[in-house]
Structure 1
Amino acid sequence: MKPISSITDHNYLELEQVASYFFKKQDIYSIEPIGNGNINETYLVKLNTSTLKSYYILQKLSKKAFEDISRLNNNLSIISSHISRSTIFTNNSLPSPQLHCPKLLSSRISGNNLISFKGEKWRVLTYIESSSNYEVIPEHISPYEFGVGLVKFHLLLSDLPLQNLEYVINDFHVAHKSLETYDSLPLNKKLSEISKENVKRVLALNRLVQEERSKAIIVDQCIKRKKLNLLPVHGDPKINNFLFDVDSNKIIAMIDLDTVQPGYLIHDIGDCVRSIANKSGEESSSLDKVFIDLEILDSFLNGYFSIDNPFFTPNDFSYLAHSIRSLPFELGLRFLNDYLYDNTYFKTLYKDQNLARAEVQFKLFLSVDSNFTCIEKIIQSYRGSM
């Protein structure tokens, strides 16, 4: 056993006990935190045995985010099996490299891929080695590659029957539902409980929400009129959910597949743009540095539309700019709602973090809105390529 300094001895012993449901204790060399996810707790398990792979992912799943955690593993098993059987790469329908998928490990004790420990649910996934992910786009990686990776993922799942996937999050990326939650909040009560400085910050965001809310629900209205096709989508294609091969700098996997469920392509594209085209990142400490980079957007779309996607329709083109605008508004509202509900959904390191996150997303929304006509022109320039 090799405890890691960032984990207390007590916590390490608990993690080791959980991991021992999947591995023999004498084979566990170390367990350490990995990643910066806002929902689940994720750890890298290193083994010192030659009979198994060296690294695995151990996760504690969030009961706050997911109503029925068993659905996550059911979906992941279906997705993993579907990807492993797909011939879309071997028959040259898609360019290499092939996309891989983390696989669930079964407990050596119960045979189940989900175990309970002290009231929490845990699982182990295979680790995709020789890969890297990023919080912001590094200089040696082109935004083009994110577009290629996302369209390959969409096409890889395009023949997966929707009825095989369960909904893990209801009303995901539905802006008017987040607005309903916000409208039902006892805002005045919350304002009486926070500092004067934070009152000013919340009231500024409140004014923005009330003035701009109609722009956030345009895609919702389009969906209600059944103008978009329901397809398997990732649901959370933010920058750090793309894994790059360390040698080729090509995407070899998309991870954090808990949000894969029936959804809409333009939600995935809008969410990916929201994440990669803000070079200051989601946790930016300077709002002056938060804006949409149109060159990154153009390069990303160039990658996405470099591969023919027959499922991307004229209506998708017509509403894509609206999705790119609504996704930072919707996430900003979710962060603000969580702050006003005392941080019960997203993980936080400090009390006001969700308020700061909300400010970043709403600033990005304003940047997208001010560049909306230009964004529409960039999108329409790719219309002839499909």
Structure 2
Amino acid sequence: MKRLLILGAGGFGHMIQEMAGLLGYEEAVFLDDAVKGADVVGKCCDYRAFVKEYDTAVAALGDNGMRLYWTEKLMEAGYYVPAMIHPTAVISPSAEIGNGTFVMQRAVVNTNTVIEHGVLINSGAVVDHDSYVACGAHVGLNSVVKANCNIESRRKVEAGEVVFSTRRKIDGVASRDLEDALYAFGFGPQCSYVKPFGEGHINETYAVYMPTEEGDEFAYILQRVNNNVFKDPAGVMENIFGVTEYLRNVIREEGGDPDRETLSCIKTKSGCTYFEDSEGQPWRCYNYIPNSVCYQLVEEPEQFYQSGSSFGHFLKQLGDYPASSLKETIPDFHNTVKRFENFTRALKRDIKNRAAACKGEIAFVLDREKDCSVLVKQQEEGTLPLRVTHNDTKLNNILFDADTGKGLCIIDLDTIMPGLAANDFGDSIRFGAATAEEDEQNLDLMHFDISLYELYVKGYLEATKDVLTPEEIESLPWGARLMTLECGMRFLTDYLEGDTYFKTAYPEHNLVRARTQFRLVDEMEQQFEKMQEIVRNYC
């Protein structure tokens, strides 16, 4: 016979007695200190005496503290103390319901919610997903506990009350905007901690760690986009989602792993491609790709060969993607003529009175005005076709497989737009064929390494020579010269304008960067015929 001992013979106790009949109990009797009746077999203090006769018991007491106290006493005494769930209640299979908890008529407990022991979820109440109701609490009639809430032990949620999510402290979160972003993408309730990540000049990037059975795991990359630079965040994210979703299909057809070989973008909980914080700054999120590494500088020649192969393959994969559908999120980004015009305007204004400190660098740029139009003119004449280009093809925008050392995934797709193959090629060379970092203050350490240039040419043309036109192949050395010159101009322009674009660590930082680029340009000019010969050798 299935029998139940109920502590408390008041109105709530009789509701549980009635529920017991619906749940298949053939007998349900009471212990109560005040009520008398045929089905009251003793006082509450007699509970130990009935453990053999009634091995199953619950504490049906309306007072939260007393219900919790007696639930724990019954468990300590060896009773089986079940959760009592009304047949009309709706309980998610992933929800956890503790011992001695009561879920009454038409109550709802949703996905991944935890209800501890000795809790009362009253008739019509809703506890939404990913919430936590601590022991001895009472969620009242027709009340609503919204998603991601924490209800404290012994708390009473009044009838009809709506409880909204309360945020928890997350280690590493020092601003409300970062916290808002974590919650916008759904990480707030579970996130273990966050910390700064990467070495980019433009955006603010964080590593997001989530708990697993094995410990905290680096799971996501959360990034605040600099909308002083990217003034059309919706367009940026439309480009990125479009290209990465397209690449997933291409990679799958190639037999690759789309979860590792392209970025996987995540939408907000409301389905948006990005989240806008209280300051109007956009945030976006990607899955982190584990077992991958990123290099700030070429450490082994093979890495630069892999870089050429990776960016070449990237261009080839997007060969059939409609370049015209991409938003031009930074107009004239690699229009070197317009960059020169921006430079001369900044020089004329000289709003920080810095021109006197960089006369040599200014003269270097002015002497190369005619060079700036070489590729732009060919594009305007239709000699060089527009392609889907990355437009920021530095070595550190490639993830390498940590085990094989092979190029794995192209990242940092903010500037993916229509452009010239020569521009992507050239930006890789100006960054990767240099013997020092772009902000090296000792110019004696900065040189153009033509052997690294040759390795990149080999990797790039192996991936693209059946895609690029002969004119595009001939334009590649010019791409190296002009992208390096353009980058130097941009650093120098920003220096003259007061460092509003690139992150700087000290007042002369952008000027130092400009000087390294101009050193590379000078050495490329000296070896330009050799650069052209190398390209022709690998056609």
TM-score (norm 2): 0.65
- Compare CA radii of gyration and give the structure with the larger one: 2
- Counterpart of 2:209, as a letter, is K
What is the Cα deviation at residue 266 of structure 1? Answer: 1.0
In the alignment, which residue of structure 1 is the partner of 2:342? Answer: 181
In the alignment, which residue of structure 2 is the partner of 1:226? Answer: 382
Question: d(CA) in 1 for partners of 2:246 and 2:435?
Answer: 34
Q: Please, which of 440, 445, 456 is the counterpart of residue 300 of structure 1?
A: 456
In the alignment, which residue of structure 1 is the partner of 2:407? Answer: 251
In the alignment, which residue of structure 2 is the partner of 1:375? Answer: 531
Q: Is the 8 A contact 1:291 1:368 kept in 2?
A: no
Deviations 1:286-335 (A, max 9, x none): 11111210110111111112235433111112222111111111011011
Question: What SS does structure 1 have at the residue aligned with 2:463?
Answer: coil
Are positions 1:125 and 2:293 aligned together?
Answer: no
Are positions 1:172 and 2:333 aligned together?
Answer: yes
In the alignment, which residue of structure 2 is the partner of 1:114? Answer: 274
Larger displacement relative to structure 2 (14-23 or 228-237): 14-23
- Counterpart of 1:18, as a letter, is A
Question: d(CA) in 1 for partners of 2:329 and 2:211?
Answer: 35
- Counterpart of 2:198, as a letter, is G
Q: Is the 8 A contact 1:243 1:251 kept in 2?
A: yes
In the alignment, which residue of structure 1 is the partner of 2:186? Answer: 23
User: CA distance change for structure 1 residues 21 and 49 in 2, over 3 Å: closer, same or farther?
Assistant: farther
In the alignment, which residue of structure 1 is the partner of 2:324? Answer: 163
Are positions 1:3 and 2:171 aligned together?
Answer: yes
- Counterpart of 2:515, as a letter, is E
Are positions 1:32 and 2:188 aligned together?
Answer: no
Question: d(CA) in 2 for partners of 1:321 and 1:140?
Answer: 19
User: CA distance change for structure 1 residues 316 and 189 in 2, over 3 Å: closer, same or farther?
Assistant: closer
Question: d(CA) in 2 for partners of 1:46 and 1:147?
Answer: 32
Question: What SS does structure 1 have at the residue aligned with 2:378?
Answer: helix
What is the Cα deviation at residue 238 of structure 1? Answer: 0.4
Where do 5+ consecutive residues of structure 1 fail to align? none
Are positions 1:71 and 2:235 aligned together?
Answer: yes
Q: Please, which of 244, 248, 258 is the counterpart of residue 80 of structure 1?
A: 244
Q: Is the 8 A contact 1:278 1:364 kept in 2?
A: yes
Larger displacement relative to structure 2 (219-228 or 126-135): 219-228
Larger RCO (CA under 8 A, 6+ residues apart): 1
- Counterpart of 1:114, as a letter, is Y
- Counterpart of 2:518, as a letter, is F
In the alignment, which residue of structure 1 is the partner of 2:17? Answer: none
In the alignment, which residue of structure 2 is the partner of 1:237? Answer: 393
Q: Is the 8 A contact 1:142 1:299 kept in 2?
A: no
> Structure 1 vs Structure 2: percent identity of aligned residues?
28
- How large is the RMSD of aligned CA atoms in angstroms? 2.3
Question: d(CA) in 2 for partners of 1:14 and 1:174?
Answer: 35
- Counterpart of 1:3, as a letter, is D
In the alignment, which residue of structure 1 is the partner of 2:427? Answer: 271
Question: d(CA) in 2 for partners of 1:140 and 1:288?
Answer: 21
Where do 5+ consecutive residues of structure 2 fail to align? 1-168
How many residue pairs align between the two structures? 368
What is the Cα deviation at residue 188 of structure 1? Answer: 6.8
Deviations 1:223-259 (A, max 9, x none): 1221101111111110100100000001110000111
What is the Cα deviation at residue 3 of structure 1? Answer: 3.3
User: CA distance change for structure 1 residues 361 and 159 in 2, over 3 Å: closer, same or farther?
Assistant: same
Q: Is the 8 A contact 1:48 1:54 kept in 2?
A: no
Larger displacement relative to structure 2 (220-229 or 210-219): 210-219
- When you count strand as a share of all residues, which structure comes out higher? 2
What is the Cα deviation at residue 88 of structure 1? Answer: 7.3
Where do residues 187-206 of structure 1 align in structure 2 (5 Å cutoff)? 187=348, 189-190=350-351, 193-194=353-354, 199-200=356-357, 202-206=358-362
Question: d(CA) in 2 for partners of 1:16 and 1:100?
Answer: 29
Deviations 1:40-97 (A, max 9, x none): 11111111156x9741011111111112110111011111110111157537xxxx78
Larger displacement relative to structure 2 (177-186 or 152-161): 177-186
Q: Please, which of 184, 204, 211 is the counterpart of residue 41 of structure 1?
A: 204
Deviations 1:172-224 (A, max 9, x none): 11111011112223547447x34xxx734x11111111212222321122212
Question: d(CA) in 1 for partners of 2:174 and 2:290?
Answer: 29
- When you count helix as a share of all residues, which structure comes out higher? 1
Question: What SS does structure 1 have at the residue aligned with 2:284?
Answer: strand
Deviations 1:348-379 (A, max 9, x none): 22222111111111111111111111111111
What is the Cα deviation at residue 18 of structure 1? Answer: 2.0
Q: Is the 8 A contact 1:80 1:102 kept in 2?
A: yes
What is the Cα deviation at residue 139 of structure 1? Answer: 2.7
In the alignment, which residue of structure 2 is the partner of 1:349? Answer: 505
Question: What SS does structure 1 have at the residue aligned with 2:368?
Answer: helix
Question: d(CA) in 2 for partners of 1:103 and 1:142?
Answer: 24
Q: Is the 8 A contact 2:477 2:531 kept in 1?
A: yes
Q: Please, which of 359, 366, 377 is the counterpart of residue 522 of structure 2?
A: 366
Question: What SS does structure 2 have at the residue aligned with 1:142?
Answer: helix
Q: Please, which of 206, 219, 235 is the counterpart of residue 55 of structure 1?
A: 219
- Counterpart of 2:404, as a letter, is S
User: CA distance change for structure 1 residues 353 and 308 in 2, over 3 Å: closer, same or farther?
Assistant: closer
